[in-house]
């Protein structure tokens, strides 16, 4: 079996509401990459990249990506390097891609996910079997509030999400610490003591001292953790050292090399893994194993993927013993199918897959079908995309 051809789609799907955070400028779900890869024996796999120009790790070390850069990099650099290769040679494929061009992890992730879909379909096995097996069948989902809602609206949405089974609320913060404290207080009062609350600052605090000052004041709200309060390993380590509340690395951890640095510097208590930030499922699995060896708990986070990317995230989230924190990705809604939630983790009004992932008591169930376990709705893909 050989990698033969590809097709790339620029996909935009209407959102339930605008979702943004401290470091974001682009609108979520507008111009995501859906990649279709075909082998010489006719197997087709799908990958996804949630390309965001402003998303590039600490001090922009990985640079941002857009649909346009992804299209060019796949066309001119990545696909020529791997055309004709066996999809099962995934380590060699990653070496070829890294040699062809540095960085551009989202473009590489789209290819990696599509190849895992192909491998699973060729073996008639779900992708999680290729990642080492399934530690859990259901992945707990955190509902993310974003920063565009006013305080009362955010509290109302959190209460509604909890009413639909969600057990972890993720509030975005870092832009206005006084507002953050008020929202935390009202959230805790509204949802009660048994719901997890976490704060994601997206590097919003300008210095470690600021993050420590405000982080200590958060203790009374019994947070599960504080995510990426500052930029850079050294500042993150200082915040981690000084706070009682656990600190989670997000923007600071993209690749396996970043995970090694975090472990060596004791820079964080937890790590948020992204399939796309790592460059695909293969390197993301390495990030998880490094964290596991260091006794670090993880979640699988996302950037508002559609059904293809969410499927990859679900397979990743079930395959590690230490990936036990609630994950942040959408509960997929497919137009024409029964609604599973009206608010809880619902980002989009529709999707490009034929069937929504099953939602049960705050969790998404990992698909058991071959490959990613999803089927593309060709009419929806055409409706929401500009193919190239």
Q: Is 332 domain-assigned?
A: yes
* Same structural domain, 103 and 239: no
* Same structural domain, 17 and 103: yes
* Same structural domain, 278 and 316: yes
* Same structural domain, 105 and 160: no
* Same structural domain, 178 and 256: yes
| Calpha distance 312→117 (Å, rounded) | 9
Q: Is 370 domain-assigned?
A: no
Q: Is 250 domain-assigned?
A: yes
Is the Cβ–Cβ distance between 216 and 241 less than 8 Å? no
Q: The domain that contains 90 carries what CATH number?
A: 3.30.390.10
Q: How many CB atoms lie within 10 A of CB 193?
A: 7
Q: Is 282 domain-assigned?
A: yes
pLDDT (0 to 100) of residue 303: 85
Q: Report the helix count and the strand count for the chain, using DSSP H and E.
A: 14, 14
| Calpha distance 176→181 (Å, rounded) | 9
The 10s digit of each residue's pLDDT in 245-263 is 999 999 999 999 999 999 9
Domain count, the chain: 2
Q: Is 371 domain-assigned?
A: no
The 10s digit of each residue's pLDDT in 158-175 is 999 999 999 999 998 888
Please give the structure tokens belonging to residue 297: 């708990």
* Same structural domain, 115 and 161: no
pLDDT (0 to 100) of residue 170: 96
The 10s digit of each residue's pLDDT in 101-147 is 999 999 999 999 999 999 999 999 999 999 999 999 999 999 999 76
* Same structural domain, 99 and 133: no
**What global pTM score does this model have?**
0.95
Q: Is 306 domain-assigned?
A: yes
* Same structural domain, 135 and 106: no
What domain range includes position 7?
A: 3-124+376-387
């Amino acid at each position: 079996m050989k990698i033969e051809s590809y097709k790339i789609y620029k996909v935009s799907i209407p959102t339930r509401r605008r979702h943004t955070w401290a470091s974001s400028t682009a609108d979520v779900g507008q111009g995501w990459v859906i990649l279709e890869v075909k082998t010489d024996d006719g197997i087709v796999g799908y990958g996804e990249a949630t390309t965001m120009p402003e998303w590039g790790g600490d001090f922009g070390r990985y640079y941002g990506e857009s649909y346009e850069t992804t299209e060019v990099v796949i066309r001119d650099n990545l696909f020529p390097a791997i055309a004709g290769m066996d999809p099962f040679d995934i380590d060699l494929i990653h070496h070829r891609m890294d040699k062809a061009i540095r960085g551009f992890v989202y473009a590489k992730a789209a290819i990696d996910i599509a190849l895992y879909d192909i491998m699973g379909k060729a073996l008639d096995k779900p992708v999680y079997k290729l990642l080492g097996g399934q530690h859990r069948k259901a992945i707990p989902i955190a509902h993310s509030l974003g920063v565009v809602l006013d305080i009362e609206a955010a509290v109302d949405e959190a209460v509604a999400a909890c009413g639909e089974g969600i057990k972890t609320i993720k509030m975005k913060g870092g832009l206005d610490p006084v507002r953050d404290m008020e929202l935390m207080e009202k959230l805790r009062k509204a949802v009660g003591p048994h719901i997890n609350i976490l704060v994601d600052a997206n590097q919003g605090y300008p210095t470690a001292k600021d993050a420590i000052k405000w982080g200590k004041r958060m203790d009374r709200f019994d947070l599960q953790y504080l995510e990426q309060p500052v930029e850079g390993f050294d500042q993150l380590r200082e915040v981690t050292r000084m706070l009682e509340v656990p600190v989670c690395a997000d923007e600071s951890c993209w690749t396996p090399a970043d995970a090694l640095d975090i472990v060596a510097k004791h820079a964080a208590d937890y790590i948020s893994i992204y399939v796309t930030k790592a460059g695909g499922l293969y390197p993301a699995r390495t990030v998880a194993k490094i964290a596991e060896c260091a006794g670090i708990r993880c979640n699988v986070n996302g950037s508002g993927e559609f059904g293809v990317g969410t499927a990859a995230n679900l397979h990743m989230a079930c395959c590690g013993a230490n990936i036990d924190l609630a994950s942040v990705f959408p509960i997929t809604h497919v137009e024409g199918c029964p609604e599973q939630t009206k608010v809880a983790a619902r980002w989009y009004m529709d999707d490009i897959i034929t069937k929504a992932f099953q939602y049960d008591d705050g969790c998404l169930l990992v698909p058991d079908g071959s490959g990613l376990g999803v089927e593309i709705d060709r009419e929806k893909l055409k409706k929401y995309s500009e193919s190239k």
